Amino acid sequence: MPEKKSQKTLPKTPPKKRSEAHARLAARIADAGPVSVADFIAEACAHYYATRDPLGAAGDFTTAPEISQMFGEMIAACLADAWMQAGGPPEVRLIELGPGRGTLSADILRTFHNWPVLAGAVHLHLVETSPALRARQAAALAGHDNVFWHDRIEDVPPGFSLIVANEFFDALPVRQFEKKDGAWRERAVGHDAEKDAFFFTTLPAPDADIPAALADEDDGAIYETSPASIAVMKTLAARLAAQDGLALVIDYGYEGPAAGDTLQSLRHHTFTNVLEDVGEQDVTAHVDFTALKAAAESAGAAAHGPVTQHGFLGVLGIAARAQALALKATPKQRRDIELALYRLTAPSEMGTLFRVLGLTARDGKIHPAGFATAEGET
Ligand code: SAH
C-alpha cells in the first residue's frame, strides 16, 4: 500500500494575496488594539474604490443608472422642474456625489437638452475620491464643457444647486453597537496574527446614544449609526438652506430606529464575508432614512419623503417613457426596456427597498415632483 503522505509533504495552497488595506489594518490593530467597525469599513472602502471600477457585469454590483437611461431621465425631469419652479436661475450647479461611471450625470445632461436654457446654465460638479472612477467619469462625459471634480461637497463653489446621490450613502462607514450582557458596546474588528484573519469583537465603552426605542433589545442585537452620512447630510442641507435648490438622495434602506446588522459585502454579484478579502470587495450598509431626514431638518432644510423608488419613478412617468422608447425599438430592445422597467420599479426588485429623499430650502419656492404618491405626500 502506498504510504499516506504526511500533512507536511502535501502541497501547500499558495497564501492568499492580501491588499494594502488588509496589511494597514492588521498593523494598526497590532499596534493599538481592535478598530471600530466604522474605521474598518473606511479603510477597506477607500482601497476598494481607489483601485478599480466596481460596477457592471464584470464588476461586483450594478446600479439603477447602469440598468437603464430611463432612471437618469426621470431624475433629470424632476431636477428641471425644480429649476423652473425656482424661476430658472441663470447659473446652476449640478452636483453628483459618488458618480461611479458617470452614467447618471451623462444621462441627466443629455435630458437637459430638452430645456436648452437650463442646459446652457449648468456647470457639473462631481464629488469623487477615487482616481480610477474619476477617469471613468471623464471618459463618460467627454465632449461636455464645465465639468469639475472635488474631494468633498464643501469644495463645490456656492450657487443654486441641483444635487443627486445614488447609492452614495450606503458606501459611507457605519458604527455598530452590540448588546452584550445587558449593556450596549461598540462593535469592533480584531486581528488574529497567527491566522492572519480578522474577527468581530467589542470595545468596552460605547459613547453613542442608543435610541430609547431600542432599550429593551435582547443580547446580540445590533444598532447602526453613520456619523459620516449625518455630516454629509448636514452640509447638503446647509447649502440648500443658504442657496436654494433641490437634492435627491436615492438608496436602499429603512426607516429607523431599528435593530439589525445590515453590513454586507459583494464580490462578483455574490454576497461574501465582510471580514475576508479586505479592500477587494464592496462593503456597504443599509441607509437609515429617518436619521438622514432628521439631520437635514436640523441643519435647516425641508425634507420630502422618503418615498419608494417605485412611487417616485411612477409619478414622474417612467411607464410612459418606456412605452415611447419601445415604439422606436427592435424586439430585442423592447424586451430590454421592459426588463429594465421591471428591475427599477417592481417591489420584488428595486421598487420598495430603494427610497428617495428630497431636500429643499425651507419656505423656498420648490415643491419637488415625485413625492406625492398614491399614499399621499409623507
Ligand atoms: N452613483 C453611482 C456609483 C455608486 S458606487 C451609481 O449609481 O452607479 C459609490 C460611489 O461613491 C463611487 O463612485 C465611489 O468612488 C464613491 N465614494 C465612496 N466613498 C466616497 C467618499 N467618501 N467621498 C466621495 N466619493 C465616495
Measure the CA–CA gap between 30 and 34, rounded to whole angstroms. Answer: 8
Contact 43, 25 (CB under 8 A): yes
Q: What's the domain range around 113?
A: 20-360
Contacts of 74 (CB under 8 A, 6+ apart): 312, 313, 316, 317, 318, 321, 370
Contact 309, 250 (CB under 8 A): yes
Examine residue 375 and state whether it is found in any structural domain, yes or no: no
Examine residue 269 and state whether it is found in any structural domain, yes or no: yes
Domain count, the chain: 1
CATH number assigned to the domain comprising residue 262: 3.40.50.12710
At residue 373, the pLDDT reads 54
Ligand 1 site-directed mutation target among 168, 232, 266, 343, most atoms within 8 Å of CB = 168
The dihedral of CA 311, 317, 321, 327: what is its sign?
positive
Collapsed DSSP state (helix, strand, coil) of residue 38: helix
Model's pTM, two decimal places? 0.94
Examine residue 182 and state whether it is found in any structural domain, yes or no: yes
At residue 4, the pLDDT reads 43
Position 179 pLDDT exceeds 60: yes
Examine residue 373 and state whether it is found in any structural domain, yes or no: no
Which residue bears the cell 492588521? Answer: 26
pLDDT tens-digit map of 261-299: 999 999 999 999 999 999 999 999 999 999 999 999 999
Position 235 pLDDT exceeds 90: yes
Examine residue 35 and state whether it is found in any structural domain, yes or no: yes
Measure the CA–CA gap between 295 and 289, rounded to whole angstroms. Answer: 10
Distance from CA of residue 305 to its chain's centroid? 17
Report the mean per-residue pLDDT for the chain: 93
- Which backbone phi and psi does 337 adopt, to 5 degrees? -65, -45
Range name among 10-14, 142-146, 365-369 with the lowest pLDDT average: 10-14
Position 377 pLDDT exceeds 50: no
Ligand 1 site residues (CB inside 6 A) read: 49, 55, 63, 65-66, 98-100, 104, 127-130, 133, 166-168, 171
Average pLDDT estimate for 339-352: 98
Average pLDDT estimate for 86-113: 98
At residue 208, the pLDDT reads 66
